[in-house]
Each structure stands twice: as structure tokens, then as C-alpha cells.
Structure 1
Amino acid sequence: MEKALVLSSGGVDSTTCVAMAVERFGEKNVSTVSVFYGQKHSKELQCARAVAEYYHLNHYELDLSPVMEYSDCSLLEHSTKDIIHESYGEQLEKKGGSGIVETYVPFRNGLMMSSAAALAMSIYPDDTTHIYLGAHADDAAGNAYPDCSREFSETMGKAITLGTGGQVLVEAPLVNWNKARVVKEGLRLKVPYELTWSCYEGGEKACGTCATCIDRLAAFRANGVEDPIEYQ
């Protein structure tokens, strides 16, 4: 039997992956997992739970925050840095067109993929499990998030498959798409984007000015639709 375990942050990209997995495998064969890594707010975890409930999926949560205890990434609750309210393009321009951005959490995708592989073997011991990762091309551009690249997901995927005896496979279906293309697919699948959260800030409404809000708003505009969440 084939199963899917989707890494779910409660955002646009991972929720689109949830819908893609449900369409492919059926909701009875799909689970989601979200990760607390010490982030400043719990909005994404709340949204991941809401998405799982919407699709009637089993949902798991992992606490990987001790690993990030020593990082000063601006997304972490103990960080001394403020979140930068600029687009990724503006941030990369200051780095000469390429470089890791301040909101990169050290090796987060690698850590989550490895943990998801262990979870998959535990909850689906007799099945082949496809881990879905929602990384897309915009995040990898300029090496802003090096663990979002196609090369990274493919290489980690090979290691995970080898390390699980072929039982766990990695899928990164959005890795060659920009965010507008992700939203286009989500609209086709009728993804409940009103349940999602992308903002790096944890207010009642999304800020609209951090890099991920800017990208999200642009992606919905590119598809000629209004983003269903509220902004300040």
C-alpha cells in the first residue's frame, strides 16, 4: 500500500501539497506533520491543524526546537534580531544577487525531512510512504533558502530512500514552480487558502510587508484572485 506524509506548515505551499496528495492517494492514505522549531508564533501550527481537520487527516506534531536553541535566526522566539520587512529580491540585491537571507532557519528542511522519514516508518511500518515537501523555485532563487532547491530535495531524497531500505520516498512537486504557479494549482484543487498563514509575524492579521507576505499577495494577484486572508 502507498501512503503520503505531508510536511505541513499551514502555509500556501504545503497546503497545496496536502491537496495534491489527497487527490493522488485519497484522504484515508494521507497524514500531515508539522514542526515546532522554536518559531516566534504558533499561527502556522494552528493553521496546519485546521488544514488537517478540513481534509479529515491524521495530524502529527514534532518538537525540534532544542536543535535551534543556538541559532539567532530572526524567526526564532529567542532571537535578538527583528524580522526584515523587505522583499526577497531587495534582500538579495543587498547581497550582490545571491546569499542566504535572515529568515533562513539552519538546515530546517533537512531536519524536518529526516524526522518525517522516521515518523513515516513508525506510523506506516508496512507501507511505502511518500513524504511531500512544499519547497518551490522562488524560495531557492539566489540561494536565499539553499534547502529549498531541486538539487537539495533530490539528494536528501536519495539519502532517505537508501536509509529506509526503499520504504520512504521524497516528493517535491512544486520545486520547479514559482509561487504564482503553486497558487494556480491550488485554485484548481479548491485549496482552502482561507485557513492558511504565511506571515512571519504572529498578529491577528497578516502584516502584508514581510517577504513571504509580499510573495503571497503577488501570487494571488498573478492569478487574478484576491487572497482570502485578512491583512493589516
Structure 2
Amino acid sequence: MKALVLLSGGVDSTTCLGLAVNRYGSDNVVALSIAYGQKHLKELEAAKKIVAYYQVELMQLDLAKIFESSDSTLMAHSDKEIAKESYVKQLEQLDGKPVSTYVPFRNGLFLSSAASIALSKKCSLIFYGAHSDDAAGNAYPDCSDAFNEAMNLAIFIGSGEQLKIEAPFISMSKEQVVKTGLDLKVPYELTWSCYEGEAQPCGHCGTCLDRIAAFENNGVRDPLMDF
């Protein structure tokens, strides 16, 4: 069995990589990192350190051109401020719409691209780190269980039944994802999640707040907050 893992360099995707390596061995795992025109490249830089740690092959793809018209606050061309509050608080003001850091159909595009590469690399599985907290309240609809099932079916059919998606955390909270990673001894000190690209995490954007809480709820401190 050979697997391709979508690796952003953040907590969830790095835990996915650790899980895949634990199951199949580093020789049977390929990591794929994708640039999409985001504000900074800190996560992609983290991904390089993570694949070096796990000694797996890294492939890189640039899809920035596709997102040139996106109004997501994550994009380098956006002049909008990234919200400095939890996703729960953001969703209270959005009437069921995705949060401002949602990048239009990003996971759909990433998975489709990954499928083409996975087939070329003789992989039979694509791993990605979607979890229930990101899908909750329609914050990131392309992290939902329904989306995952639809994409899995499309890729399975479209690949001639050669390729499947595995989203091992789709029913888990971020707290549970971190617990899984701690058990696997995932090198979280190498990861990056913050939406800002400063020397240290801001500690106040939605992903920082979720990450900090996930570690605290596991009785440990986020290693990136030790400063």
C-alpha cells in the first residue's frame, strides 16, 4: 500500500503524515504541499522540515493562479484583516456562510490535483486532515463529512476504482487530532498554523486559538507558544 498525504505544514496534515508513515512506512508515503497564493509561506517551509524528519518524498505544486480572484483574507492580494477571534464567534455573525479565511473550494481542488499525482506515483490512498471542528457551522464546508464522501466517490470512479480518499479525522475534534498525534510522537514543534507570517504565532487568529485549546485540552502546552 502506498499513500499520498496532503501536507500544509500545520497540525492536522502533519498528524495525517505521521499516521500514514506509522501504517505504511516512510518508503510508501509521498507528501504533497500546495502553494495557492497565501499571505505567507511559513506552513510550506514547515512542511519541508517535517518531510525531512519523516524522510518521505515531497512534491510541490503551485495553484496560485486559480485563486487570483478569491476574496479570502488568507490571500496575499487581500487587503482585509484576518479575524482575531474564534471560529465560533465568527460564525455567530455570518448567518451560515463560511468564515472569511475560507478559500473557495480549496480542498476540492487540492484533492483533485492530488488524485492525478497519486495515480502517477502508484498510490492507492490520499490522506488529508479535515476534522469536525473545521466543518462545524459551515466554517469550512469542504471539510465536512458530506463533502468528503462526495469527493471520495468521484475520485474512486474517476480513477477507475484505483484510488480512494482517507480522512481519518473527519469525525474527530481538533483536540482528538492532537491526542492522536501526541500518541504518535508527531513533531509539532516543526509545524506552523498561524494565519499571520510573523516570527512567532499571533495567538489570536481562529486557527491559533483552536490549536492552543487543542493542546491545553490534552494537558500539554503548544510547543510553538513557548516564548
Normalised to the residue count of structure 1, the TM-score between the two structures is 0.96
Cα contact 1:33–1:60 (8 A) shared by 2: yes
Deviation at 1:82, TM superposition (A): 1.3
Q: Is the 8 A contact 1:205 1:231 kept in 2?
A: no
CA deviations on 1:162-185 (whole Å, 9 max, x unpaired) are: 111111110000000000000000
Partner of 2:168: 173
Which residue number corresponds to residue 132 of structure 1? 127
Matches of 2:175 and 2:141, distance apart in 1? 20
Query: Residue 22 of structure 2 corresponds to which residue in structure 1?
Result: 23
CA–CA distance in structure 2, aligned partners of residues 63 and 123 of structure 1 = 18
Which amino acid is 1:203 matched to?
A: E
Return the offset for 1:231: 6.6
Structure 1 residue 219 corresponds to structure 2 residue 202: no
Partner residue of 1:72?
Answer: 71
Deviation per CA, 1:89-139: give whole Å up to 9, x if none: 11011124x321000000000000000000111122xxx521001000000
Matches of residues 1-232 of structure 1 in structure 2 within 5 Å?
A: 2-96=1-95, 98-124=96-122, 128-230=123-225
CA distance in 2, matches of 1:188, 1:149: 25
Unaligned runs of 5+ in 2: none
Matched-pair contact (CA < 8 Å) for 1:121–1:168: yes
SS in 2 for 1:105: coil
Distance across 1 between alignment mates of 2:77 and 2:157: 36
Q: Report the 3-state secondary structure (helix = DSSP H, G, I; strand = E; otherwise coil) of the residue aligned with 1:167.
A: coil
The code of the aligned residue for 2:115 comes to A
Partner-residue secondary structure (3-state), 1:229: helix
> How far did residue 221 of structure 1 move?
0.3
Measure, in 1, the Cα distance between the counterparts of 2:121 and 2:12: 24
User: Aligned equivalents of 1:48 and 1:31: distance in 2?
Assistant: 12
Conserved 8 A contact 1:208-1:231 = no
Please give the alpha-carbon distance, in whole angstroms, between the structure 1 residues aligned to 2:92 and 2:100.
13
Percent identity for Structure 1 against Structure 2: 56
SS, match of residue 74 in structure 1: coil
Provide runs of 4+ in structure 1 moved above 2 Å. Answer: none
Q: Distance in 2 between matches of 1:21 and 1:138?
A: 22
- Once residues 231 and 107 of structure 1 are traced to their aligned partners in structure 2, the CA distance between those partners, rounded to angstroms, is 34
Gaps in structure 1 of 5+ consecutive residues: none
CA–CA distance in structure 2, aligned partners of residues 61 and 117 of structure 1: 14
Number of matched residues? 227
Other structure's SS at 1:94 match: coil
Separation in 2 of the partners of 1:50 and 1:163?
33
TM-score, normalising length from structure 2? 0.98
